[in-house]
């Protein structure tokens, strides 16, 4: 202990660093550096050894603008020593930085975005398909492998905290960030995002999960007050978070910009203290979205542990040392709560690896990582229709490839998820294209076929080329970005282009690169449609190999595609067109009836249902059996490949009370379980799955309980939310249990 005290009195951080280097971890007098102790014990011991100034370093983080902006912050807000430390230690081009405490061996938190890959404007990295695309794989191994790749690149580029794990449900099909999230269903999203976080954290670094919560539209995201009942939240957006957190234990949860029921996301006692930390027993720390903080003591007391992304001198430094000290002095903030904040941050640093396995800059095998990304895309492309088995392309003499900048690359989403690929991306009309042109890949796959490209700007010229070609492939694109919404109607007359080309050549295939759902007014005019979402750095080859049959498509939609605007829950997005920061309110009256649940409940027929996706082979489901199992249901079924090609089938179990209104459900049915399996022609497999009891229950705020209403439930096996191959009935007893630690 004496050494700890002596070191605690050292003056400048640079001096402390050298002392630390000269005195490697001694387990006896620095118990927090002893990996055989629990992360809880280590965090407690480290907090006890820290000075007040050191504690305050950990709760206040700087944004990527810090390099240029932090020097302008007054010295009485951030001391010159700390400013110098930040500027010399952050990873240039990353999203954020929280200084560590070198004196006691606590590393800096080097934070960056990681929705689809490591975002750093100076360091190239590998772009996975968008999270919405990998969710379409319906195979958690795909985001897990992708996350492991991202985490490895993070380590190799000196980042130890990844701002990943986007899981806001696609409640609003026009939300500009839907491409960063994992679709409209809590079970699918929770499973896929949990797997991504597991992959990232397998590299001994921290991942967040974000943006907590119901930050489901981008319009006025920093000033919008969302009204939604606790019941609806717990059965939808929060359930997705709950499932993912249980599956992956992220080190941190990022609270969102918006208000929820009148309280800021990062100052929301109900969401942060009651649900996350109490009911779910979350041990990590809550970091703010970049600058999403509005107070000192109220934010800290309502559950925020770290103000992250402090930017510029205009920002209010709510968690900077002077503000924290004033709150402590006035008694508005207790030393106990500050210790808890620091302990939670340290817990994550000990439990997830950054203390024991510091990140180190090493070379990256970009070719190997691009292969991981291409495999993810090949599992995720969704074949929406294929009339007359036009696909896969066989023995075709000539192909017209039209539009979508298919000669340049594949579209990527914009905002903080933006990844700099090796060699840079291609900017066309202000949008980023990853250098993986489908045109080149098709030419590689079909060396004997005459393939001619037309940009698609002149529809008559495109149609003339289509007439001369045996088959036409039209690429359409829809740009999505953080900070704005995406129209479901495609821009730049692309609908007219498809219609003109389809009139000219009935053998027209559409490949859509979109951040989410789009309207397809030409859906009946084209025989084949492949939804590629944003397919990542291996997108070109993945599309070409699917169109030519090397890859048998196996993706299924993680979102429904509405047929027309009158099917949307809200005709207009609240606040659209108003300047950023304008106070506004929206009531999410559809509650937990999101996506297919909404269409089902309203009796609408969307263009394509959640779960839909076809293959070059056919699968049959049979012998469904189901029985009550604990509070949940155990279901088993057989799946057989009836076709002539090997392929991957996805079995989807839907559950439905005999009377959904009486059972208090938001909609007639819910996805209860799913599994993907690879089958050779003629082969079959028996699959057994369990339905989590929360997916059979309603949440009751009064007693903080989950409640399954006793009665008959239909259990169906299906390959989309619209079909059912077989159903059986199960009788469930009336069951009520506490929502505290419900997953344990
Ligand atoms: C985004 C977050 C992101 C952060 C840092 C914010 O604007 O909402 O998702 O992690 O910036 O880049």
289 lines ligand 1 (CB under 6 A): yes
Residue 27 confidence (pLDDT): 61
The number of helix segments (H) and strand segments (E) in the chain equals: 21, 31
209 lines ligand 1 (CB under 6 A): no
Which positions of the chain have pLDDT values less than 50? 1-25, 744
Tell me if 74 sits within 8 A of 322, measured CB to CB: no
Q: Where would I find the beta strands (DSSP E) of 290-397?
A: 307-310, 382-386
Residue 311 confidence (pLDDT): 86
How far apart are alpha carbons 595 and 601 in whole angstroms? 10
378 lines ligand 1 (CB under 6 A): no
* Centroid of ligand 1 to alpha carbon of 599 (angstroms): 31
What is the number of other CB atoms lying within 10 angstroms of the CB of residue 340? 16
Question: What does pTM read for this prediction?
Answer: 0.96
* Centroid of ligand 1 to alpha carbon of 251 (angstroms): 17
- Closest CA relative to residue 255, chosen from 243, 269, 234: 269
210 lines ligand 1 (CB under 6 A): yes
Q: Which atom of ligand 1 is nearest to the CA of 256?
A: 8
* Centroid of ligand 1 to alpha carbon of 176 (angstroms): 14
Please name the residue whose Cα sits nearest to atom 4 of ligand 1.
290
Residue 743 confidence (pLDDT): 58
114 lines ligand 1 (CB under 6 A): no
Q: Which atom of ligand 1 is nearest to the CA of 166?
A: 9
CA distances from 302 to 276, 299, 466 (A): 11, 5, 61
Residue 360 confidence (pLDDT): 96
What is the number of other CB atoms lying within 10 angstroms of the CB of residue 502? 22
The model's pLDDT over 203-256, given as tens digits with 9 standing for 90+, comes to 999 999 999 999 999 999 999 999 999 999 999 999 999 999 999 999 999 999
* Centroid of ligand 1 to alpha carbon of 97 (angstroms): 13
Q: Which atom of ligand 1 is nearest to the CA of 221?
A: 8
Helix (H, G, I), strand (E, B) or coil at 295: coil
Residue 72 confidence (pLDDT): 82
- Closest CA relative to residue 606, chosen from 653, 565, 650: 565
639 lines ligand 1 (CB under 6 A): no
Tell me: cis bond preceding 213? Omega within 30 of 0 counts: yes
130 lines ligand 1 (CB under 6 A): no
Instruction: Specify the DSSP class assigned to residue 272.
Output: I
How far apart are alpha carbons 552 and 664 in whole angstroms? 41
Please choose from 61, 91, 113 the residue to mutate so as to test ligand 1's pocket, defined by most ligand atoms within 8 A of CB.
113
Helix (H, G, I), strand (E, B) or coil at 263: strand
Instruction: Specify the DSSP class assigned to residue 270.
Output: I
CA distances from 445 to 406, 410, 451 (A): 15, 17, 11
Residue 69 confidence (pLDDT): 79
Please name the residue whose Cα sits nearest to atom 11 of ligand 1.
290
Burial 656-692 (b: 16+ CB within 10 A, else e): bbeebeebbbbbbbbbbbbbbbebeeeebeebebebb
Tell me: cis bond preceding 657? Omega within 30 of 0 counts: no
Pairing of strands 647-657, 584-587: unpaired
Q: Which atom of ligand 1 is nearest to the CA of 208?
A: 10
119 lines ligand 1 (CB under 6 A): no
């Amino acid at each position: 202990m004496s050494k700890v005290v002596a070191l605690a009195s050292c003056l400048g951080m640079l001096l402390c660093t050298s002392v630390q280097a000269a005195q490697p971890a001694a387990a006896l007098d620095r118990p927090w550096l002893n990996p055989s102790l629990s992360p809880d014990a280590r965090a407690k011991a480290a907090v006890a050894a820290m000075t007040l100034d050191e504690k305050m370093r950990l709760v206040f983080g700087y944004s990527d603008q810090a390099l240029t902006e932090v020097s302008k912050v007054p010295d009485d807000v951030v001391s010159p020593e700390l400013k110098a430390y930040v500027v010399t230690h952050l990873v240039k081009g990353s999203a954020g930085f929280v200084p560590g405490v070198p004196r006691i061996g606590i590393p800096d938190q080097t934070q960056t975005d990681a929705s689809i890959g490591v975002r750093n404007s100076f360091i190239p990295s590998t772009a996975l398909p968008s999270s919405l695309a990998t969710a379409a794989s319906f195979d958690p191994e795909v985001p897990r492998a992708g996350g492991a790749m991202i985490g490895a690149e993070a380590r190799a580029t000196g980042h130890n905290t990844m701002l990943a794990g986007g899981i806001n449900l696609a409640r609003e099909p026009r939300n500009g960030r839907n491409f960063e999230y994992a679709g409209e269903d809590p079970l699918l999203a929770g499973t896929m995002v949990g797997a991504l976080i597991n992959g990232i954290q397998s590299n001994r670094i921290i991942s967040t999960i974000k943006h907590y919560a119901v930050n489901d539209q981008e319009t006025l995201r920093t000033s919008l007050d969302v009204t939604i009942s606790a019941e609806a939240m717990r059965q939808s957006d929060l359930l997705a978070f709950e499932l993912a957190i249980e599956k992956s234990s992220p080190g941190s949860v990022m609270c969102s910009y918006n208000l929820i029921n009148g309280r800021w996301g990062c100052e929301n006692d109900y969401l942060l203290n009651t649900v996350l930390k109490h009911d779910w027993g979350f041990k990590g720390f809550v970091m703010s979205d970049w600058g999403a903080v509005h107070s000192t003591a109220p934010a800290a007391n309502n559950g925020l542990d770290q103000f992250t992304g402090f930017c510029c001198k205009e920002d209010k430094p709510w968690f900077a040392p002077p503000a924290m000290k004033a709150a402590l002095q006035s008694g508005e903030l207790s030393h106990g709560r500050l210790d808890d904040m620091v302990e939670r941050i340290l817990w994550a640093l000990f439990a997830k690896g950054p203390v024991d396995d510091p990140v180190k800059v090493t070379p990256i095998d970009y070719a190997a990582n691009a292969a991981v990304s291409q495999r993810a895309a090949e599992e995720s492309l969704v074949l929406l229709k294929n009339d007359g088995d036009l696909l896969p392309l066989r023995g075709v003499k000539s192909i017209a490839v039209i539009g979508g900048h298919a000669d340049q690359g594949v579209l990527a989403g914009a905002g903080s998820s933006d990844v700099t690929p090796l060699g840079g991306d291609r900017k066309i009309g202000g949008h980023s294209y990853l250098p993986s042109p489908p045109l080149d890949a098709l030419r590689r796959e079909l060396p004997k076929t005459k393939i001619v490209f037309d940009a698609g700007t002149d529809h008559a010229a495109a149609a003339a080329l289509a007439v001369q070609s045996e088959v036409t492939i039209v690429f359409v694109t829809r740009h999505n970005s953080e900070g704005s919404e995406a129209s479901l109607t495609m821009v730049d007359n692309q609908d007219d282009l498809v219609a003109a080309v389809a009139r000219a050549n009935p053998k027209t295939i559409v490949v859509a690169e979109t951040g989410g759902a789009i309207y397809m007014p030409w859906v009946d005019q084209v025989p084949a449609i492949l939804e590629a979402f944003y397919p990542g750095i291996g997108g070109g080859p993945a599309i070409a190999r699917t169109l030519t049959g090397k890859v048998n498509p196996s993706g299924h939609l993680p979102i429904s595609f509405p047929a027309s605007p009158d099917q949307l829950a809200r005709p207009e997005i609240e606040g659209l067109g108003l300047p950023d920061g304008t106070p506004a309110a929206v009531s999410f009256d559809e509650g937990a009836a999101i996506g297919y649940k909404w269409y089902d409940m309203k009796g609408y027929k969307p263009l394509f249902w959640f779960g839909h996706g076809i293959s070059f082979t056919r699968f049959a489901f049979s012998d469904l059996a189901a029985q009550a199992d604990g509070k949940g249901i155990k279901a088993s079924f057989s799946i057989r490949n009836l076709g002539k090609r090997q392929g991957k089938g996805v079995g989807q179990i839907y559950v439905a009370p005999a009377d959904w209104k009486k059972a208090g459900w938001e909609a007639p049915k819910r996805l209860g379980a799913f599994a993907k399996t690879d089958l050779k022609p003629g082969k079959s497999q028996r699959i057994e799955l369990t339905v989590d009891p929360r997916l059979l229950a309603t949440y009751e705020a009064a007693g903080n309980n989950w409640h399954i209403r006793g009665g008959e439930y239909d259990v169906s096996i299906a390959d989309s939310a619209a079909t059912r191959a077989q159903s059986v009935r199960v009788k469930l007893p009336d069951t009520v249990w506490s929502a505290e630690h419900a997953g344990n």
